[in-house]
Structure 1
């Protein structure tokens, strides 16, 4: 199952304004009704009855990141690239 990120917001006239995002998993393809239904159900599971009037603005795939969030630096042991030599421009008169 693919992990998605859904962006939600409350109505403008709501007393409790809310805006944010959450993660959910869905087996449906991106942009389908089943995918939006999974997002809606997950939002109601997380936030409860407060989220009944909220709308989901956008759903996007969660990208797999290669960066490590533990603060550890990575060393690069590859040989440096050879320096490029510029072509000499000659003036002809």
Structure 2
């Protein structure tokens, strides 16, 4: 039973990393700092930092939407990963 448990833990970690990487990669692709993304999205920089570090496991849908709009990411791309984390 522990092998199944480890499988699901690993899967959740991979999904979470995917979600975090999409945000970080798109931000870096634009050459923005977290502070610039915070200013453009309206999401506080400490919140963005926590999301990127994986400390904010369940960011609000409103924050995800704001980040997606600022980064010009289809909300569905982030939403799929976000829903997988829930």
- Provide the TM-score with structure 1 as the length reference: 0.25
Q: Point out the structure with the larger helix share.
A: 2
Q: Point out the structure with the larger strand share.
A: 1
Q: Which has the higher contact order (CA 8 A, sep 6+)?
A: 2
